[in-house]
Amino acid sequence: MKVNHDIHTHTLFSSCCYDPAATVRAFIDRAAGLGHEILGISNHLWDEKVPGASGWYKGQTIDYGFEAKYAIPADTKGVKVLFGTETEYCGMSDNLGMLAETAVRFDYVLIPHTHTHMKNFVIAENDDVKAYRQELIAAIEEKFPQLTHAQAAKMTAALNYNEIRALIGDKPGMIDEWKYLADFCFSSFESLMKNPEFLKMAASVPTLIAHPFWACGVSGVDVKNVFGHLLADKDRLYADFAVCAGLGVGLDVNIGTYLDSSNGFADDLMVAVMRIAKAAGCKFTFGTDTHSVAGLDSIRRGDAISEAIGIEKKDLHAIVC
């Protein structure tokens, strides 16, 4: 199937966008050049009515996000432009970053459940890392008694999660990091499907799960390790996707999460996951998740990905039909 839309995109109104040329106008121009029928603008936003925003999200308010809508030109060169958003779901606290009453102001909402690079916001650090941080604090206090506990804790907090893991190294009895992430992917998806605000949202506005079951921040061989744990429980995946399908919630076929292009993506691990989703009755949308104008071009990989999964036009979510 030739993919004729891209509804997971980030312009300069997303704080993570790194392309100074990534204006709404530039995205529309490039989408027209690619032959898109539909382009969705889905910048990161956190509803200011919802407590608990991270420092990164606090500046990305709803009013700020609507500046992107006002930037949509009258002439969209034949491309249907949808104004959406990507908000946040913090699985560790069951906190959804947008109220349903706010979501209805958008054409659609993307919700990620696996921004696992956002430690102690989306996902808690595993117990080994927590314990080692406490050991470091104690060691600093012993070495420098003139420092307060708060100062020692602040120094330790300057080390990010991966740096702490590297200091710990591989020791017998350590938590399996990849199983920890896979278990979180399952639990966060399942808790999201039961979240009362999410259920209201799904009933009132087209709602999509961004990059489902993709543990963000993991790369290389570690991606295979996480997927190994996920695909070891295909029945649980099927059951989770069946709930999603029953709610009418769509899934984002996120181009950047498909890594193995050999054999037409047939052996890609995310393809294996999404085949289960298709069997469970889920509907799909496609998105590049681009943070640059050039990144829009990667949508063409979606043609082969759709074939590998077995997605046909009848399997697309209504928002892109």
**Tens-of-pLDDT digits for all 321 residues of the chain?**
999 999 999 999 999 999 999 999 999 999 999 999 999 999 999 999 999 999 999 999 999 999 999 999 999 999 999 999 999 999 999 999 999 999 999 999 999 999 999 999 999 999 999 999 999 999 999 999 999 999 999 999 999 998 998 999 888 889 999 999 999 999 999 999 999 999 999 999 999 999 999 999 998 889 999 999 999 999 999 999 999 999 999 999 999 999 999 999 999 999 999 999 999 999 999 999 999 999 999 999 999 999 999 999 999 999 999
Sign of CA dihedral 48, 39, 31, 74: negative
Lookup: tokens for 214: 């993709």
| pLDDT reported for residue 219 | 85
With contact defined as beta carbons under 8 Å apart, do 216 and 114 qualify?
yes
CA–CA distance from 16 to each of 10, 56, 162 (Å)? 8, 9, 20
Lookup: tokens for 114: 């696996």
If we measure between CA atoms, which residue out of 195, 197, 175 comes closest to residue 187? Answer: 195
| pLDDT reported for residue 220 | 82
With contact defined as beta carbons under 8 Å apart, do 8 and 254 qualify?
yes
CA–CA distance from 277 to each of 60, 271, 280 (Å)? 32, 10, 5
pTM, two decimal places: 0.95
| pLDDT reported for residue 221 | 87
DSSP assignment, residue 266? T
